[in-house]
Every structure is written in C-alpha cells, then in structure tokens.
Amino acid sequence: MASAADDLAGATPPPGAATVQEETAGGWYVSFVHLLGRALLGYVDPAARTARLSAALERARSDRQKQAASLAREEAGESQGEATRERLERRLARAGSRAERLEEAVRRTGFKREIYFAGLEVTPDEVHYAALATFLLTFIALVALLVVLVIASAGVISVFLLVIALLTGVLPLSFYVFVYNYPGLLARRLRVQTLGRAPEAVHYMAMSLRLNRSLPLAVRFASENVEGNLGAALKKVQWDVLSRKYASLEESFLHFSDEWGNWNEDFMRSMYALRLSTHEKSTEGLTRDLEKAQDIVLSGTRRKIEEFSSSLSGPTTVFFALGVLLPLVIGAMLPMVFLSNLANLGNLGAGTGPSPGATPGGGGLAGTNTTGTGLVTIIGFVLAMDVGFPFVALLYSLQILSKRPGTVTPPRPPAGSVKRPPLSEAVLLALVAGVATGAVAVPAYLGYLGTAGTLTWTVFALMGIGVGLSVGVYLRTRALAKVGNALQKLENEFPDTLFQLASRMGEGLRFERAVERTTAGMRGTESAKFFDRLLYVLRVSGGTPEQALFGSARGPGLLARYPSRQMRVSLRALLEAASKGPQAVTDTVIPMAQHLKDLRNTDAAIRTSLRGTVQMMKGSAFFFAPVVMGMTGALYLLLSGVLASGALAVPPVLFFAVMGTYLLEMVFIIGHFSIGIETGGDRLRFWTLVGQFLWIAMAVFAVGSILGVLTLGSGAG
C-alpha cells in the first residue's frame, strides 16, 4: 500500500468551509459587513470593548466563586431548610450562566467557528459593529419618520401611528439580531444541506477502498468529488497532516469524524466503519464493513428526510397564512374599516371633500386628504402591506428551507455552454415589452378608458413591470433552461443506465461493446443520445474512452458539454474498475449505481410528499391571490362610495398600487419557497418559474381589478 505522504502529495490547502456556491449565498453579507462594520470601526475602539468585557468576566467569575462558597457553607453546616439551598443553587446557576456568556463574548470561540464554517470572510468585530450600525441607522430613520408624522397629524393618535411607533421599537432590534446571527444561521443551513452529501462522501470513499485499500487515497478521492463545506472539510483532513497538526491521516480523520459527529451521529458511525474496513484482512470483511458504512448513513439520511417531510405541513400552513391569507383578509377588511372610521383610522373625510376640479376617485391623489392623519394612514398601510408582511413571510420561508436536507445537487449548465442574447439586448427588449404593456396606463389615467380605467391605471403600470421582468428573465434563461432540463433527465436516467452498463461489462464485454448494447435498449432517452455521441467520438478520433470522455492534449472531452459531476465521477470509477477486471466492475460500480438510485428515490419522495403543498402555493401566488386582490380593490371602491363623491383614507390608485406591489413581492417569495422545497434551491429553475409566471400573475390581477370595478362599480353607481 502506498505511503500516506505519497497518497497526499496532491493535496492542497482548504479554500475555506464553503465552495463558490455557498460563498455566493453569503456574498451580499460580506459586502454589507465590510461596508458598515469597517466604517464604524474607524470611530470606536474594539480593544476597549474587549477590556470592558474582560473586566465584567472577572467580576462574574468572582461572583460565581462567592455563590459556590455560600452553597458549600450551607451544605457543610446546619441546614436552614430546603428553600435556602434551592435559592443558593439558583443563584450559582445564574452566576455560572452569566460567566459563560461573558467568556464566549470575550473569546468568541463558537462565533469564530460559525463564521469559518459558513465560509464568510469577515471578523467578529466587523460583524458586531455592522449589526450595531444597522441598529442605529434604522432606529434614527424610524424615529425621524415618527416625529414627522406626529407633527403632521397634529398629535392625533391613530392605529397606524401606533403601528409605526411599534415598528420603531421592534425593527431596529430585529435587524441587529439578524445581522449579528446571520453567520450562525448560514452555518446551520449548510450543515443541514450537507446531510444529503454525507451518503455521497461515504459512497465515494467506499468505492475508492474497494479498488485500493488506502484511507488517504479514499479521503483524497472523496474530497475531490464532494461539493460544499463537506468537501472542504475532507481537504482539511489532508492538509492538517501535511501541516503537521496531526501525526497521521488516521488521527486527523478520527478528529474530523468526531467533530462532524456532534450533529450527525450516523455520519460519524459510517466514518468509523470505513476506517475499520482498512484493517480487515479478507475481501469479505472489507465488503461487509463498506456495505455497513453505506447502509448506516443512507438509512440515517432517509430517516431525517422523512422527519423533515412529516414536520413540514404545519410550518408551510403558517407560511401560507402569513404570506397570502392574512394580507388578503386584512386587505378585504380595510374598506369597511376606512368606511366606518373605526379607531380614527383614516378619519379624513370629515369636513373635507374632493379637491376642486378633481375627477371622482381620479387618477392621482385628488379627492383624498393626504395630510395629517391621512399621511400616517398611507405610510402605515404601505409599510404593513409592502414591507412588513413580505419581510415576515420571507424570513419564515428561509427558516423552513434551512431545515430542508440537501440530497441531489441540481445540474447547473455553465453560462458559456449555450448561446444567450447579450444582457444589454435582453434588458432593452424587456424595457420595450414593459413600456409597451404599461403604456396603457397613460390613456387610462387621462380618462380615455372610462371610469374603470381612471381608477385602475396603476394596475396597468404594474402589469408593465411584471411583463418587462418576465421577458428579460425568460430571454436570459430560456436556452439555459433547455440545457438544464436535458441534463436533469440525463441524470435521472443515469443510475439505471450505469447499472446496465456495469452489468454488461461485468459479463466481460469491452467498454465500447457494452455501450452499444446499452444504447440499443434505451432509444429515445437522453442517455441514448449521450452514448451515441460518445460512440461517434470514439470511432472518429480513434482514442481511448478516457480521452473521449475526459479530454486530452488535443482538446476537451465529451463531458465538457455535460457538466454533471455525478456522471464524471461514475464514469471515471467505471473505467478504473474496468482496468482491474470484470469482477471489480461488479463489486464497485453496481453498488454505486444502486446508491445513486437510492438518493434519487429519496429526493423524489420529498417532492411527492410535498407536491400538494407546493402546487397550492403556486396556485395561490399566480392565480388565487391576484384575483382576490383585484376584487378587493373593487370592493374598496364600492364600499367607500368613490364612484359617487366620497373621500378615501387611501387613494384608489394607491390602494391598487400597494396591493399589486405586494403581489409582485409574493410571486418571488413563494416561487423561491416552492423551488427550494422541490429541488433544495435550483436558481435556474427559480428564474425560469419567474419568467414564465410573473406576467400571468400580473395579468390576472389587472383583469380581476378591471372586471371587479366594472361589475361592483356599476352596481354602486
């Protein structure tokens, strides 16, 4: 067996705890923290803060010692009663808890670990002061807004003014907590996503050990083929040996297993089973230990995924209620609340009427008193519908998705693999489409489309925004989506294809002959197309299968056109096993194909169990919510008597604009949630969904609004 030094010769320093994908997910946070944190660091002294915390820690430790001494004296002397002892025990527990919190605040060991695991290039001081700057800026802005509104409303207290005052106290603190705790949130999300990659890492190591009973080679092979922070951690196992942190790779490997076993016990047990297999003398013992390792991690992963699926019904229902139903109910109630002037809400109509010369319910703010308490009502309405509800829904959806285990990584075709229209061209066409659609708002505003058009001209403007975004996104993702769908079909078929190919090679057929027979039985599939191209390349080039698949000095291989990590690793293992004989193919590749099939089945089980929920969310975002919001706007006009002469707490055009903006936001949020549940976060599929359905949602909203105004409005008149 090769030495550990030889096996680790190609190891490189770990790039961090996350790959480019995870770093991109937190890239905005790094930029944000650098901007605010470093700016505030120039005006404060972090060393002084550390000194204050250290002094507080010493006092807390002294207090803990005093409490411990008091309790010891009580237990050693004559007992004064159980109540006294319990009181001293509680004091000691509180003192110890405070000392632990202060020690963590000074050392920041856990915080640094979370930052490293999340792959964020920030320091604890930058995070702390960025969170503090966010708190201060938000608080100052909201206090200034509150003061202006109190002055404008002449001291009249309304419900919306109280809501803004509540937001002034809650939002700054919420932003501080979010910014400060984001590294921990991201680290936990990455850990959960890694749950699905744990069987993948165990599988690659088992495959390597079947071919070569070397733990260093197995770790290296897995680190090169596993994505994310788990792959980076496996690279670190090797680097810690080369940097002399550990004397041997086995020692480093055991430390890695124990560290990751703190939150994934099944993965740790599998790692120990893999290590044990390297000490087996017989092939039967090796095979038994490797199969045990794979069974442990796969069954554990499947159990955790089933627990996630069964626990998702309640949170998803809450998300649906917060994100869709509650805002719709509130929107439907607002007309009646405004009409009856409950609790001084929008008490604007008393003594006021439409502005001179204004069209009743017309295209701007005419006919509406927008000063004083009216301004408070408008700002509170906008903040609640277009800021508060979407923000809460987004945070809650992210919390739900953070518990979704990652199973199968969606294939991502590289941007340069297909021809797409230039970004400038896509933006220009999107602007043309959006302006052409939204231009209907101009004659509607001027009254050429009748009263219904005058009342709903903002709906046409929002529909133009939706159409423009849809066109731009569709043009940029159409070609990529087509390639991505083909890649997805190919990967879905690949476990069965690999099983057939390995079975024929296990019978003694050469690679080319096995490919021909496999292709003959799979006509019409993406796998058949791939292998037809492979056979063509082999016959034309006259090269080896390795050169045809992976490339050579003469040019890239066929897999350069199919950026599937699963296919690349599996075919490389197949060819390596084939060099050792048919039995090696049977022992190595067929279990690998079965493992890939199990992962696909597990991922499909998640989608099947959640399909009803996801379809309900999509239907609500794209059809149900737009219709209800449009009819709510029409009901607002009817109950307020705007078609006659009444003054409104919120102008009709603004009411439609706020509801339409909320709809735009929820299409993105619900689309992100549904794609996250289905695929674990496929960005290409998310943007494809937006491009296909955003314009539909806005068109349904426009049609519902106009029909509602025509139907209910005529009834009111």
Residue of 265 and 20 predicted with greater confidence? 265
Whole-angstrom Cα distance, residue 630 to residue 650?
Answer: 16
- For residue 714, is pLDDT > 60? no
Whole-angstrom Cα distance, residue 466 to residue 364?
Answer: 22
Predicted local distance difference test score (pLDDT) of residue 336: 64
Count CB neighbours of 141 within 10 A: 13
Alpha-helical (H) ranges within 119-152 are: 124-152
Q: What are the two backbone dihedrals, phi and then psi, of residue 549, each rounded to the nearest 5 degrees?
A: -85, -45
- For residue 140, is pLDDT > 90? yes
Q: Which of 641, 653, 647, 654 is nearest to 355 (CA)?
A: 647
Output the CA torsion 378→380→384→388 (10° steps). 130
Whole-angstrom Cα distance, residue 172 to residue 177?
Answer: 9
The pLDDT tens digits of the residues spanning 224-276 come to 877 777 888 888 899 989 888 888 898 999 988 888 877 788 888 999 999 99
Last residue of a domain, one of 311, 340, 363: 311
Whether residue 370 is found in the same domain as residue 387: yes
Whether residue 273 is found in the same domain as residue 203: yes
Percent of the chain surpassing pLDDT 70? 82
Predicted local distance difference test score (pLDDT) of residue 552: 76
Q: What are the two backbone dihedrals, phi and then psi, of residue 689, each rounded to the nearest 5 degrees?
A: -60, -45
Whether residue 242 is found in the same domain as residue 185: no
Domain of residue 212 covers 198-311
Q: Does 8 reside within a domain?
A: no
Whole-angstrom Cα distance, residue 108 to residue 105?
Answer: 5
48-52, 410-414, 596-600: the lowest-pLDDT one: 410-414
Whole-angstrom Cα distance, residue 366 to residue 354?
Answer: 7
Whether residue 113 is found in the same domain as residue 211: no
Whether residue 298 is found in the same domain as residue 343: no
Please report which helix (H) or strand (E) contains residue 653, including its range. helix 652-679
- CA dist 56 → 41, 90, 94, 134, 548 (Å): 22, 20, 15, 26, 67
Whether residue 50 is found in the same domain as residue 143: yes
Count CB neighbours of 125 within 10 A: 18
Whether residue 342 is found in the same domain as residue 298: no
Whole-angstrom Cα distance, residue 650 to residue 385?
Answer: 13
30-34, 42-46, 79-83, 475-479: the lowest-pLDDT one: 79-83
Predicted local distance difference test score (pLDDT) of residue 372: 54
Count CB neighbours of 303 within 10 A: 11
Cβ-contact 221, 231 below 8 angstroms: no
- The tokens for 692 are 């296909």
Whole-angstrom Cα distance, residue 256 to residue 193?
Answer: 18
- CA dist 508 → 231, 495, 511, 586, 678 (Å): 35, 20, 9, 10, 40
Whole-angstrom Cα distance, residue 123 to residue 30?
Answer: 10
Q: Which amino acid is at 712?
A: L
Q: Does 561 reside within a domain?
A: no
Contacts of 589 (CB under 8 A, 6+ apart): 498, 502, 505, 570, 573, 574, 577
Whole-angstrom Cα distance, residue 160 to residue 378?
Answer: 9
Q: Which of 298, 211, 215 is nearest to 586 (CA)?
A: 211
- For residue 703, is pLDDT > 60? yes
Whether residue 614 is found in the same domain as residue 701: yes
User: How many domains does the structure of the chain reveal?
Assistant: 3
Predicted local distance difference test score (pLDDT) of residue 353: 40
- For residue 457, is pLDDT > 90? no
Whole-angstrom Cα distance, residue 647 to residue 354?
Answer: 6
- CA dist 2 → 212, 217, 375 (Å): 10, 9, 77
Whole-angstrom Cα distance, residue 712 to residue 700?
Answer: 17
Whether residue 189 is found in the same domain as residue 217: no
**DSSP conformation class of 555:** B
b/e map of 608-629 (b: 16 or more CB within 10 Å)? ebbeebbebbbebbbbbbbbbb
The pLDDT tens digits of the residues spanning 82-129 come to 777 777 778 888 888 887 777 777 777 777 778 877 778 888 888 888
**DSSP conformation class of 419:** -
Whether residue 343 is found in the same domain as residue 276: no
- For residue 669, is pLDDT > 80? yes
The single residue listed with the structure tokens 């295209």 is: 363
- For residue 588, is pLDDT > 90? no
Q: Which of 709, 367, 679, 412 is nearest to 564 (CA)?
A: 412
Contacts of 596 (CB under 8 A, 6+ apart): 494, 495, 498, 566, 570
Contacts 24+ apart (CB under 8 A), 574-577: 574/498, 574/501, 574/502, 574/505, 575/511, 575/545, 575/546, 575/549, 576/211, 577/211
Whole-angstrom Cα distance, residue 336 to residue 355?
Answer: 23
Q: Does 545 reside within a domain?
A: no
Whether residue 352 is found in the same domain as residue 477: yes
Predicted local distance difference test score (pLDDT) of residue 361: 40
State mean pLDDT over 411-436.
80
Overall pTM surpassing 0.75 (yes/no): no
Residue 50 sits at the vertex; the CA angle it makes with 134 and 53, to the nearest 5 degrees, is 95
16-30, 158-172, 442-456, 671-685: the lowest-pLDDT one: 16-30
Cβ-contact 595, 298 below 8 angstroms: yes
Whole-angstrom Cα distance, residue 509 to residue 502?
Answer: 10
Q: Does 568 reside within a domain?
A: no
**DSSP conformation class of 107:** H
Q: Does 48 reside within a domain?
A: yes
Whether residue 216 is found in the same domain as residue 69: no
Q: What are the two backbone dihedrals, phi and then psi, of residue 246, each rounded to the nearest 5 degrees?
A: -125, 150
Q: How many CA atoms lie within 13 A of 206 on its CB side?
A: 30
- For residue 290, is pLDDT > 80? yes
Whole-angstrom Cα distance, residue 202 to residue 599?
Answer: 13
Cβ-contact 20, 229 below 8 angstroms: no
Cβ-contact 584, 578 below 8 angstroms: yes
Predicted local distance difference test score (pLDDT) of residue 470: 92
Predicted local distance difference test score (pLDDT) of residue 340: 53
Strand, coil or helix: what is 552?
A: strand
608 pairs with which residues across the strands? none
- What spatial distance separates the first Cα and last Cα of the chain, rounded to whole Å? 91
Q: Does 58 reside within a domain?
A: yes
Last residue of a domain, one of 260, 285, 311: 311
Cβ-contact 437, 463 below 8 angstroms: yes
663 burial level (CB within 10 Å; 0-12, 13-18, 19+): buried
Q: Does 414 reside within a domain?
A: no
Cβ-contact 465, 459 below 8 angstroms: no
Q: Does 492 reside within a domain?
A: no
Whole-angstrom Cα distance, residue 700 to residue 117?
Answer: 44
Last residue of a domain, one of 285, 311, 337: 311
- For residue 8, is pLDDT > 70? no
219-233, 288-302, 330-344, 539-553: the lowest-pLDDT one: 330-344
Q: What is the mean pLDDT of the chain?
A: 77
Predicted local distance difference test score (pLDDT) of residue 395: 81
Predicted local distance difference test score (pLDDT) of residue 24: 47
